[in-house]
Every structure is written in C-alpha cells, then in structure tokens.
Amino acid sequence: MHHRPRMSLTLVRLVATFFVAAYGVLAAGLTPVAAASDNTWAPAGAFGEKLNSPVFALAVDPADNRRTLAGTASGTIYLSPDAGASWRPVRKISGHAVLALAFDPARPGTILAGTRGAGIWRSADSGLSWQPQQGSEARTVRAFAFVNGAALAATDLGVLSSRDGGPWSSAGLPQVRISALAVVPASSAAANGMVVAGGDATQGPEPLPVFTSGDGGQTWAALPVTGPAGVVGGSSMVAALASGPEPRQGARMLLMGTNTGLFMTRDRGANWQQLTGGGGLPATDITSLAPAPRRTDRLYVASDGGGSAQGGLWVSSDAGGHFASLAPPVPEVTALVVTGDDTPTLVVATFRPTDNSVALWTYHDAGGQPQGPVALPPSPRTAPSAHGVSRTGAGGSGLTELFTRPEAPYLALGAGALAVVLLAAVAYLRRGGQL
C-alpha cells in the first residue's frame, strides 16, 4: 500500500509564512497611500470609475484639512474623509462635467460646484447632499470667489452673483467667457480691496479680457494689460488669478497665469512683470495658482503644458522671487489644492495625454528635495477609442484596470511570492515528502 507523503511541520510553517507575507504585500498594494513621508509623492485612492478626461475640480475643507472633494468629467462629485486615501460618490450630475469646487469661507459646511452646462450646485452639509441653484441654469461655471458676504461665479456669459445663499443673477461682463476670479484684499496701500475677473474669450475689443471691480462686482473696469511691447507676454487668455501675500509695505501683488506664463502687478496693471523665479519657472501655459493658506510666502504654480512638454508643478517660498520644481510623477497637472496645515499637503490631479490616464497624488511639502512615488504610474499605452468606452465610463475590463493601477508592482511582488510557495510545494512532493 502506498501512503501519500505528508508535509513536515517545517514545510507547513514555511508555506504559512510565505502566504502571510504574500497577503501582506497584496494588502499593502491594494491599500491607497494618501499620506506618505515628507516631500514624497504618493498615489491617492482610486475613484469608483475609470476616467478618460482630466479632473479640473478639487477642494479642501478649511475647517477639516482631511476632508477633500473632487469633481470629474462624468459629472460625479467625490468626497474623501481621509485626505484622499478613499473616495465615495456623493452626487452624480449626469452628462455635465464638474469644473469647479469651492468652500464658502463665510458659511461653514457650504460648498459650491460649477458644471459644464448645468449651472451651479450647492451643498449646505459639507458635501453630503446637493441642490441646483436658481438663476444659474444651463450655465458653464469654472471658478468662484467670495467677497463681502457675496459669492461670485465665473461663467461662459460673464459673472453671476448670489448673496446669503439666495438666487443667482448677472453681475456684469456678459460679453466675456470668464475663466478665473480672485479677490485682492484691502491693504495699507489700497484701502479698498478689489475683485479681478479674467477670461479666455471675449466678444468685446479687449486684447486680453481682464477686469477689476472695487464694489464687489457691481461695476467693472478693464485692467491695463498692454505696454510698449503689446499685450503682457503676448498672452491671449487668462487661466488663473490669485492674490499674493500682504507685503510689509506697499500694495499686494496680483498674480495672473496665462497661456504664456505667470505675471505679476502691484499697481493694478500699470506695470506687469513676468515671474520666472530666477529661471526656475518656464514660460508655459499656467493652469492653477494656489497660495498656501498658512504660509503666506509660499506659492504653488501648476501647468498641464498646454500641449507642450513644459507641464509641471513649482513652488516659491519667497512670494515668487524664486521657484523650484516639485517634480510630480506626471508633469501634466490639471488641478491642485493645498491644505491649511502648517506644513501643507497638496492634492494634485494629473492627466497623461498619451493614454488618457487620470491620476490623483498627494504630497506633504516640508521644504525638502522631492522624492518620487514607490509605485510609478502605468506605462503609456494606446488610448481607447471613443467606441471602446463603456456606458459607465470604465473604458476597459476590471482586470486591465487592476494591472494598470499604481499598485501593480506590489501585486506582481505578491504573485511572485505565491509562485515561490507553489514551486516549493511541488519540489517537496517530488522528493517524497522529506524536508
């Protein structure tokens, strides 16, 4: 009678050890990392859908730096309670991309969402529920600003205004497709603050559509943008606006990102200066400007490259005097938000046009040398055709998506460990069960 070989206790322990190790590796690979070490890029958690279009809308709760919102091209608003480690959908505005998200600083828990063609949506419970806003129907909304208790929205037909959460109405500039808004607070050199609106198209005579208002958006005047050499930097559109930090003396600077670079004025447009940060910031298409809420000297500038190879993310720690690259894992940055921590955390959206790959990343900026992520983004592949995208926007099978996620190297390591276990068991049985 032949007896089936029995595994020795030593081999049983070996197999158990390998399985535990493999499980640990797989679990680590499938668990999103949203808070890596200082100055290290880490992949944020994945959405519940595969995206083929850029993410333009990110926002962080000023009262809770871990509570983050993201809006997608599919019209879904996602909420993360843990700084991007995990996401859950809280609203689906079908067929209308979410282009802007903003927390109202005067009303805790109130958030505004701007959409493409479906107007403004409002949440009064920190993003759990959303309602469409009267007076904004069918508008495309790409930015918000808040001044003197009023909310302003940048739309495809000028500026809209709402006070005390009421209906929205026109606040002027109907001839301009507004793309950016900013509020420059009052300072010792300028008793009255101003609202600035910039556009990327106009039906008026403006060579570069930039306007200011000293009465909260009730009236507007064109901001000077021309000089002896013509329009500032040869720009034709405004993509981002921001107020600089309050200086020890003099007026605050106004920062303007255009399709040709980053520019600054301290005298309401009379004189403009291009900021190159001592050569650290290229003259490229600027998509986002984000001053650090608690680090008034720190400014972040992002670019998707505008179809060139000059995309990236840069930081200045001296209010624009010098810039250094943060070397994001994918250089095409489409959205950026900065937390109000003493050491800021960045949540960044990227879009790789070679394969329409969308990714979210986090970066804890402690001022050191940037380090790349442990898991790199997947290698470029042929972009899916329009006919190959599923109705849900998945754009591919679950297995394909699994192996193109940033956790793929961990999965491969876990699979390798399992293969070693199987080979060891086979070798043991072939030797007659002796170990």
Q: Once rounded to an integer, what is the mean pLDDT over residues 301-327?
A: 91
Find residue 221's DSSP bridge partners. Answer: 212
pTM across the whole model: 0.79
Residue 419 φ/ψ, nearest 5 degrees: -65, -40
**CA-angle at 272, arms to 271 and 277, nearest 5°:** 140
| Per-residue model confidence as pLDDT tens digits over 84-122 | 999 999 999 999 999 999 999 999 999 999 999 999 999
Q: Once rounded to an integer, what is the mean pLDDT over residues 188-192?
A: 55
Residue 434 covered by a domain: no
Per-residue confidence (pLDDT) for residue 302, from 0 to 100: 97
- Highest mean pLDDT pick, 183-197, 293-307, 390-404: 293-307
Q: In what order do the strands lie in the sheet with 194-202?
A: 176-184, 194-202, 210-213, 221-222
Dist CA 357 CA 351 (whole Å): 6
Q: Which string of DSSP letters, residue by residue, matches 110-141?
A: -EEEEESSS-EEEESSTTS--EE-TT-TT--E
Per-residue confidence (pLDDT) for residue 236, from 0 to 100: 93
Residue 221 covered by a domain: yes
The first and second tokens of residue 364, run together, are 């804890």
| Per-residue model confidence as pLDDT tens digits over 343-364 | 999 999 999 999 999 999 999 9
DSSP 417: H
β 226-227/150-155 pair status? unpaired
Q: What share of the chain has pLDDT > 90, as a percent?
A: 59
Q: Provide the number of structural domains found in the chain.
A: 1
Residue 15 covered by a domain: no
| Per-residue model confidence as pLDDT tens digits over 204-214 | 998 999 999 99
Per-residue confidence (pLDDT) for residue 19, from 0 to 100: 47
Q: What burial letters (b/e) apply to 21-35, b meaning 16+ CB within 10 Å? A: bbeebbeebeebbbb
Residue 432 covered by a domain: no
> How confident is the prediction for the chain on average, in pLDDT?
82
* Domain interval for residue 198: 35-401
Residue 28 covered by a domain: no
Dist CA 161 CA 169 (whole Å): 5
Residue 273 covered by a domain: yes
Residue 120 covered by a domain: yes
Q: At what angle do helices 408-430 and 9-30 cross, to 10 degrees?
A: 170
Specify the higher pLDDT residue, 406 or 388: 406
The first and second tokens of residue 229, run together, are 């050499």
Contact residues for 54 (Cβ-Cβ < 8 A; gap 6+)? 73, 304, 334, 335, 349, 351, 358
Q: What is the CATH number of the domain that holds 184?
A: 2.130.10.10
- Residue 5 — pLDDT band, cuts 50, 70, 90? very low
Q: Indicate whether 391 pLDDT > 60.
A: no
The number of helices, as runs of H, and strands, as runs of E, in the chain is 3, 30
- Residue 418 — pLDDT band, cuts 50, 70, 90? low
Per-residue confidence (pLDDT) for residue 20, from 0 to 100: 43
Per-residue confidence (pLDDT) for residue 422, from 0 to 100: 59
CB atoms within 10 A of CB 203: 10
Q: Once rounded to an integer, what is the mean pLDDT over residues 240-248?
A: 81
**CA-angle at 307, arms to 305 and 308, nearest 5°:** 60
| Per-residue model confidence as pLDDT tens digits over 219-234 | 999 999 987 778 888 9
Dist CA 195 CA 113 (whole Å): 20
Residue 26 covered by a domain: no
- Residue 387 — pLDDT band, cuts 50, 70, 90? very low
Dist CA 242 CA 180 (whole Å): 9
